[in-house]
Structure 1
Amino acid sequence: MPKSSSLEEFYRKASATLPPGISKEIGHFNVFETEKLFNRETGSRIMPYNRRSYYKISLVQGRNKAEFADKVIDIRESALLFATPKIPYHWVPQDNIRGGMFCIFTADFLSKNKAGIELDGLPIFQPGQLPVFQLDKTATEELEYIFRKMLRELEGDYLYKYDLLRNLVMELIHYGQKLQPLSAMKSTQNAAERISSLFIELLERQFPIDSVHQRLSLRSAKDYADRLNVHVNHLNKVLKEVTGQTTTEIIGKRVTQEAKILLKQTDWNISEIAFTLGFEDLANFSSFLRSTRSRRRWRFARK
């Protein structure tokens, strides 16, 4: 069952020691070599679906699969991955290669009063993006150098080392943003695109569902229109123009994705899943599933 993954939980699973005081004073940051951590007895490196309280940038080596909702990305050799507290993912190794490094940090480590950065405003962390980038040999070597430098600086006693580490984190972020398609980097240019972008962001903020006590607060097209301060008919027209889909279709598709994740990756019963996704009773949820996929396929998704 997924649950909130705090920094303390991360360090416990990694058999590492949480550095004292850092998270209270300057925000938390740390960097690791992947092969030295996680389930040393079993050798497992699977990263399960959950909500984390920190951001993570990973240089992953070897054959892997990255699963984001209903999308699966096959990694052949090396990849750069950006993980946020908002977007659930499942990382499944496909071979025994255990190279790579990663860093974790909290939002306040790069907060506006320290580095002038609003993380969620950066293109790499925008909803709807797939922040996994396959790398060639040159890019892998360049990124490994940055991670190694992080490790050296973190272990050093330079007075301003955390300022230097923030710069190195930003270097990784900019590296990833340069790998994004140009379309992902462009700012919205008109009112329709702005409304569409805000709607998608508002929708994604409700996920992932990580507790049977959590429930979608926005469920209908009118809920979103009211929150965005536009008429529901105008919102529907805008989304149809920009995306080719109605408001209800987009909401339904995202709820379907979350339902699929919860059915496959939790041990919650159907009633609990129905409740968290905003359905008043099991009959309505069953009707929703039948309208999106056959019951037979949903039974297989549960296995």
Structure 2
Amino acid sequence: MRTALNFQRSEAPSFDLSSLTWVRQQAGGPSAAGAQWPHYAVVFVEETLQAGGAAAEKLGAAELYFVAPGQPAWSAAPEWTEGQVLRFTDEFADLADHDRDLLLFRLFRGPAGEGPVQVPRDQAAELGCLLASMKRQAAGVSLLRDDLLRAYLKTLLLHCARLRQQQFGGASSPVPSGLLGRFQQLLEANYTRWKSVAEYAHQLRVTPNHLSVRVRQETGQPASDHIRRRIMLEAQRLAGHTDASLKQVAYQLGFDDVAHFSKLFKRCTGVTFSHFREQARVQYRFPEPNLMVA
């Protein structure tokens, strides 16, 4: 039986995370139009089964399929596969023009013939955790829910872009270019080590002011906000989905001063670390659903 949390009126939701089996079932039913919503779709195949009925056996790596708006998400992966389908609109993703080109156009409208992206087992676990976090976040109606979902979505797309680059390489690879792209790559790899704009600017061989101005021009926010938001996103993930203490989370994120980290967490989220954890644990007491967010 399908369980759904649907925060929509009558129109198609702007964010949807469902099992591939359910999406296929809807393809031939009264909700068939949902299979061709004007969404981007990432199909994450967790188990590839070789056709053969009871003799089916699991094959190797997980796979990623990318479906552009207007195309039926259910038809992307072979019919004997199982997995999850993440669908979202351009408006919900709310990406800057630079990121929209790199993470939407090139991933979902790239050269034909490349086929699915193979996902090594360890990285498949990372993607699975990200999708699980999206499910738990979408299940509630908490403060900043949509903002966190967008941040998780962008992180997932960056992982997908990197995997595609590793497999196919070449000019078609959606690797961020320019100062903003290089900053984003450095941030994703070093946010637990570097906390200041100056550290990133030094690595990028520009002045801190130049970096902040350029990032603000392309995203509407200075580099310092991007750094702080990425740190807090991980802090909230750890607070909500692990049993790590405030001190452990602070150290894991590179803060030697736990009191400073605690004040920063409250300033950014509006609540204390312990209060946020309590809210998250109440929020996530839901069955594992297929989720829709309008």
Query: What is the TM-score when the length of structure 1 is the normalising length?
Result: 0.42
- Flag the structure with more relative contact order, 1 or 2, with Cα contacts below 8 A and sequence separation at least 6: 2
